[in-house]
Amino acid sequence: MAEPKDPVQFYTAGRQNKTGTVFPTKAIADAEANGGKVDIMSFPNDIGTHQFIMNFVKFTLAGKGTPPNTNVVTSIALPIPGQGISDKIGVKYNQDELGVVGGSMLGAVGSIAKLIDGDFPAEEQTGAQFAEQAVKTGLQAAGAAGRTAVNELGMGIGAAADQAFGNVVNPHVVLLFKNVDLKTFTLQWKLAPSNPQESDMLKKILYKIREHAHPSIKTTYNSANFFLNYPDQVDLYYEGVNENLHYFKRSAITVMDVNYQPEGENMFFAGTKAPTRIDLSLTFQETEIWTAEDYHPDEIKNPSNLG
């Protein structure tokens, strides 16, 4: 696996925890330098320069000041996926109604925020003017609340007023930011061994991915098998594409689908009895959200600025 020409490192917004890297071979070398043994596997034998690399690491709970585990235990290289290379963000908002009181108070709250931030123009920063604005807004809120009470308790008086005057209370519908989804990727391959050695390697790779995707049984203080260890996590990389595709943060495998009958019938090599083709689909979910800081253009163009 050749080193990418233009490496980029990723950090969280706090710049303290490295969450991923496009140095797959360096990560392997570092793990071996720390005394670890990395199981390196690839398919097919002539995989070429365009590769999708999965570097598996043992799960660790990374926190502030505690970097995630970078000791690679297995590195698997497959061809670039044939389907699924799509980087989709998910930012959730809730539509909500502030109501008549909340809508009336919105201006006052905004004024308070401006005052705290020092954003008021000089002529608006006097205490008397601010108090006057607050009183006006409070009276508007009280009037709106009273109008709602009339509508709810006055047996249609409020509705009649709406009809007569041709107006209704503004509900002040707003869009409230909720959260950012963890990114999910489903990548697909059509893998066709060309000789017995490749068939054997593909079988080993599939078993190894399953091993890392599943939890193991905790071996200490667990005589009744009540507890399981977390499955391993994986750092993902596209290599040989000049860093023109999207990047990944550390991920977990949530779905693995292996189709041994991609053509709808049994097709096996006569000598090895191994399938002539296997369709593989892997779904990864990242373990950290992306924020605006992750997309800062200076960091993408000048990775030496990170750290």
Residues 249-275 have pLDDT tens digits of 999 999 999 999 988 878 888 888 899
Report yes or no on 231 lying in a domain: yes
> Is the domain of 82 the same as that of 211?
yes
> Is the domain of 137 the same as that of 162?
yes
**Which residue's structure tokens are 């249609």?**
156
Tell me whether residue 302 is exposed, middle or buried, using C-beta atoms within 10 angstroms of its C-beta: 0 to 12, 13 to 18, 19 or more: exposed
Question: Which residue would you say has higher pLDDT here, 146 or 72?
Answer: 72
* Contact in structure between 120 and 110 (CB atoms under 8 Å): no
Share of the chain above pLDDT 90, in %: 36
Report yes or no on 2 lying in a domain: no
Q: What is the pLDDT of residue 143?
A: 59
Give the highest mean pLDDT range of 44-48, 69-73, 100-104, 118-122: 44-48
Domain that holds residue 144: 91-179
Residues 118-129 have pLDDT tens digits of 555 555 555 556
Confidence category of residue 148, pLDDT binned at 50, 70, 90: low
> Is the domain of 175 the same as that of 282?
no
> Is the domain of 112 the same as that of 43?
no
Give ∠ CA 209-39-75 in degrees, rounded to 5. 60
Q: What is the pLDDT of residue 36?
A: 77
Rounded CA separation 279/259 (Å): 5
Mean pLDDT of the chain: 76
pLDDT > 60? residue 209:
yes
> Is the domain of 217 the same as that of 297?
yes
pLDDT > 80? residue 193:
yes
Of 144, 179, 214, the domain-final residue: 179
Q: What is the domain count for the chain? A: 2
* Contact in structure between 48 and 154 (CB atoms under 8 Å): no
> Is the domain of 131 the same as that of 209?
no
pLDDT > 90? residue 278:
yes
Q: What is the pLDDT of residue 30?
A: 77
Residues 77-110 have pLDDT tens digits of 999 999 999 999 999 998 877 665 566 556 555 5
Of 144, 161, 179, the domain-final residue: 179
